[in-house]
C-alpha cells in the first residue's frame, strides 16, 4: 500500500492510496466518520435562561459546537474509574454567565470558561444566542468523549470521501481529431498534443464519461482503477486531519485483531 499526500491545507488533506481494495478504503472512510472519538458537549445544566430560545434548542446548539480534542488525554466516560458518572478525568466543564446590559448582547462561544484550556471551542466567534435587555443566561455544561455513530456532533470531519483514480484509454487509430471530447469535458482537462488527445490532470477527473459519450468513434474510454483512490478528509478543527486518519487506521487495526482472536476461540 502506497500513500502519497497531494494537498494539505488547514483542516483539509487529500492523499492518494494505491494498492488496496474498495472494501478497505470504504472501511477507512466509515471508521473516520463513525469511530474516531472527539469531545462534544453532552450535558447541560441550565441555571437560568429567559432568552427567546427554549432550553432544549439552546442545549442542542451547544452540543453542535466543535471542541478541540487533545489526542489521548481523555477516554470514554463508560471506561473511566467513575463508571460513566462523570469526573474530571473524563469530563470537561464549561461555565457561561451573561446578561444583556442596555443594548443587545451577543453570547459567543468564546465567553465559555473551560476547566481545561486544551479543550475549547474551535472558534471563539460562534454566535450562540442574542440577548436583549433584562434577559440573561447562566449555564454549566459538561463535554465528554464520544463517537460519530452515537451522534453526529462527535464526528471529527465534515468530509470523508474517496473516488477512484481514472485511467485514460485513448485509441489513436480510431480518433479523427474532431476535438468533440475536449469541448465535452466539464473540467476541461483534455488537450490535443500533435495527433493525440491527452489528459493533462487525471486527478481532477470526475469519471463523468462525457468525453467518451461525445466521441462517435469509440476512441476514448474512461476506466476506473479500483486499486487506486483519491481520499479527501476535511476536519472541523477538533483534531488535525492527518491525526484523524492515523487514529482511524489504529482503530481498524485493533478491530481486526479483535476479530482474529474471536475467530481463533471459535475454531478452537
- Select from 38, 68, 77, 135 the one that contacts another protein (CB under 8 A): 135
Residue 223 and residue 167 in contact, taking contact as beta carbons nearer than 8 Å: yes
Task: Say whether residue 125 binds another protein (CB under 8 A).
Answer: yes
Candidates 22-30, 127-135, 184-192, 245-253: pick the segment binding another protein (CB under 8 A).
127-135
Q: How far is the CB of 130 from another protein (least distance, A)?
A: 5
Candidates 62-70, 73-81, 83-91, 203-211: pick the segment binding another protein (CB under 8 A).
62-70
C-alpha cell of 139? 449555564
Residues within window 138-197 making contact with another protein, judged by CB under 8 A = 152, 155, 158-159
Taking the CB of residue 184, how many other CB atoms lie within 10 A of it? Answer: 18
Taking the CB of residue 191, how many other CB atoms lie within 10 A of it? Answer: 14
Task: Say whether residue 237 binds another protein (CB under 8 A).
Answer: yes
Candidates 19-27, 58-66, 188-196, 213-221: pick the segment binding another protein (CB under 8 A).
58-66
DSSP category for residue 137: E
Q: How far is the CB of 132 from another protein (least distance, A)?
A: 4
- Select from 130, 136, 221, 246 the one that contacts another protein (CB under 8 A): 130
C-alpha radius of gyration, the chain, whole number: 25
Q: How far is CA 61 from its chain centroid?
A: 19
Helix-strand-coil split of the chain, %, nearest 5: 25, 35, 35
- State how far the Cα of 44 lies from the Cα of 86, in Å rounded to an integer: 13
Instruction: State which residue, 158 or 176, has the beta carbon closest to another protein.
Output: 158
Instruction: State which residue, 131 or 244, has the beta carbon closest to another protein.
Output: 131
Reference 130, options 172, 158, 98; nearest CA is: 98
Binding stretches for another protein (CB under 8 A): 10, 51-53, 61, 64-66, 104, 109, 122-132, 135, 152, 155, 158-159, 234, 236-237
Amino acid at each position: 500500500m502506497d500513500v502519497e499526500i497531494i494537498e494539505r491545507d488547514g483542516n483539509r488533506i487529500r492523499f492518494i492510496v494505491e494498492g488496496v481494495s474498495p472494501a478497505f478504503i470504504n472501511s477507512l472512510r466509515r471508521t473516520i466518520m463513525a469511530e474516531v472519538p472527539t469531545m462534544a458537549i453532552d450535558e447541560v445544566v441550565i441555571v437560568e435562561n429567559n432568552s427567546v430560545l427554549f432550553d432544549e434548542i439552546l442545549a442542542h446548539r451547544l452540543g453542535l459546537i466543535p471542541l478541540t480534542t487533545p489526542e489521548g488525554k481523555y477516554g470514554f466516560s463508560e471506561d473511566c474509574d467513575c463508571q460513566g458518572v462523570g469526573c474530571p478525568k473524563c469530563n470537561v466543564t464549561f461555565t457561561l454567565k451573561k446578561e444583556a446590559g442596555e443594548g443587545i448582547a451577543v453570547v459567543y462561544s468564546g465567553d465559555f470558561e473551560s476547566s481545561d484550556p486544551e479543550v475549547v471551542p474551535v472558534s471563539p466567534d460562534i454566535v450562540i444566542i442574542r440577548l436583549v435587555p433584562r434577559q440573561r443566561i447562566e449555564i454549566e455544561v459538561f463535554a465528554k468523549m464520544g463517537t460519530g455513530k452515537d451522534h453526529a456532533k462527535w464526528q471529527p470531519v465534515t468530509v470523508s470521501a474517496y473516488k477512484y483514480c481514472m485511467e485514460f484509454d485513448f485509441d489513436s487509430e480510431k480518433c479523427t481529431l474532431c476535438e468533440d471530447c475536449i469541448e465535452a469535458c466539464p473540467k476541461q482537462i483534455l488537450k490535443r498534443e500533435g495527433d493525440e488527445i491527452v489528459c493533462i490532470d487525471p486527478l481532477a477527473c470526475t469519471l463523468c464519461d462525457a468525453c467518451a459519450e461525445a466521441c462517435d468513434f469509440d476512441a476514448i474510454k474512461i476506466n476506473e482503477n479500483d486499486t487506486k483512490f483519491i481520499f479527501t478528509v476535511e476536519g472541523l478543527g477538533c483534531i488535525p486531519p492527518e491525526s484523524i486518519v492515523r487514529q482511524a487506521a489504529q482503530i481498524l487495526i485493533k478491530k481486526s485483531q479483535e476479530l482474529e482472536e474471536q475467530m481463533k476461540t471459535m475454531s478452537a
